[in-house]
Structure 1
Amino acid sequence: MVSYSNFDFLKGNYPELFLLATNAEDLIAIDPFAAMINIQKLMRGVIKMIVGNTGIVTSDHHMDGVIHSLWKNKLIEDDMYHIIREIELFDSRESEIIIDLSRVEHVFLRMYDVTVWFYKSYVNDAFVPNSFVNPVLKKTPPLVVKREKEKELPVQLINIDGTISKGEWIDSLKSLDNYVINHYENGERYEGQFVKELKHGRGIYTWQDGTVYIGHWNNDLEHGYGEKLYANGDVYRGYWKYGAFDAQGTYVWKNGQTYEGQWKDGLEHGYGTKTTTNGIKTRGLWNYGESKQE
């Protein structure tokens, strides 16, 4: 158990959030999967507090929709929106999804920044956080609440609004174990972790046609959380299972149509929302790509 919690400032006003945060701290080094469950609960609790303090009204009762409403109304910044959505997309039922400790640690650090921002914005604007004690590395790096200027990097990510920006996700690739840069004879390129001649861990692959995948890999297949920007302009952000869309994810077609929800074997499967180019929404259950609405 950690003797000191980075979230001690929550103890008085938000004991439930404090408990979730300290549970995540205790578990992150020994059980990253369980830590992610607590991080997700913490995130949802903070979002509810933000909604309660802003008084925003949304007709969407699903957390992903609430998060989107906060972002759309400029109540949370773009970088905060991205990390919160990634946490929300984590599906605790998918025990086979690879949990990368370094990624969980990154998410935990960013969730700390979000929580500090919430506390300063809605509870005590004079609050100054102590230096962050890393529960995994057992050292005290300087706290960065605001993101530093991004480095010039050769690979691009697509934002939720369709604009292109440099991806901070890849900034730490070179520090990972088994890091390589492979240039293939057909012009394709891979940068990231490589194990037994296979893409395995975190990495970026660029195909001949310009399609780019940025995310987690397992034995040469997309597996875990990742984002793929297709050459035709389509984008998928969410979870993968052995090369196919799985669990939770969002697909955005070039023409503006979207599907947000559950997937299986690369097809819409489970609860989801499909929005047409003219804004018509279809919510409900899907069965391997077919809508089950009455």
Structure 2
Amino acid sequence: MSEEALTKVSYIFPNGDKYEGGCGRSASGAMVRKGVGKHTSANGIIYTGVWQEDKMCGRGTLQHLSGARYEGEFNDNMYHGTGTYTFPDGSSYKGHFCHNRLEGKGVYTDSQGRVWMGDFHGKAALGLKMQHTS
């Protein structure tokens, strides 16, 4: 199957969501978000990044209304790969994600600037070590 040229679109969905960016035909012939684009939901959540077959897939940034923000890799509309999640209180996690969950080696910086390193598995993070500063 040859790579087709993408069309640039600006589209407003019936629910009020907006999309500006690449668009192309799926395997079934439907027009889908593809390539780089920006999707703004009616309630203000913004994703800017790569789309594949109408899903967030590749590098991108997702900004939530709460102030939380994820920058990194997506697959099938989920945080998947390496990235940084910044919480509304300013704390952050930088490391690996698997299906929207913290998974593997990572670094958590709390809202006071203390840095914790170790292995993360969803909500569990056994054996974290605090980085000491001089």
TM-score by length of 2: 0.83
The CA distance in 2 between the partners of 1:273 and 1:281, in whole Å, is: 7
Q: Which has the higher contact order (CA 8 A, sep 6+)?
A: 2
Residue in structure 2 matching 1:225, options 40, 59, 81: 59
Report the number of matched residues: 119
Structure 2 runs not aligned, ≥5 long = 26-30, 129-134
The CA distance in 2 between the partners of 1:203 and 1:215, in whole Å, is: 6
Query: Residue 240 of structure 1 corresponds to which residue in structure 2?
Result: 74
Query: Residue 188 of structure 1 corresponds to which residue in structure 2?
Result: 17
Percentage of identical aligned residues: 25
Query: Residue 268 of structure 1 corresponds to which residue in structure 2?
Result: 102
**How far 1:289 moved relative to its partner?**
3.7
Query: Residue 6 of structure 2 corresponds to which residue in structure 1?
Result: 177
Residue in structure 1 matching 2:50, options 216, 220, 225: 216
Query: Residue 286 of structure 1 corresponds to which residue in structure 2?
Result: 120
SS at match of 2:15: coil
Pairs within 5 Å for 1:73-222: 177-196=6-25, 197-222=31-56
**How far 1:280 moved relative to its partner?**
2.3
Q: Is the 8 A contact 2:45 2:65 kept in 1?
A: yes
After TM superposition, which residue ranges in structure 1, 4 or more long, deviate above 6 angstroms?
A: none
Find the structure with the greater CA-based Rg: 1
Stretch moving more, 275-284 or 247-256: 275-284
Q: Is the 8 A contact 1:269 1:289 kept in 2?
A: no
Q: Which amino acid aligns with 1:188?
A: D
Q: Is the 8 A contact 1:200 1:217 kept in 2?
A: yes
Q: Is the 8 A contact 2:6 2:24 kept in 1?
A: no
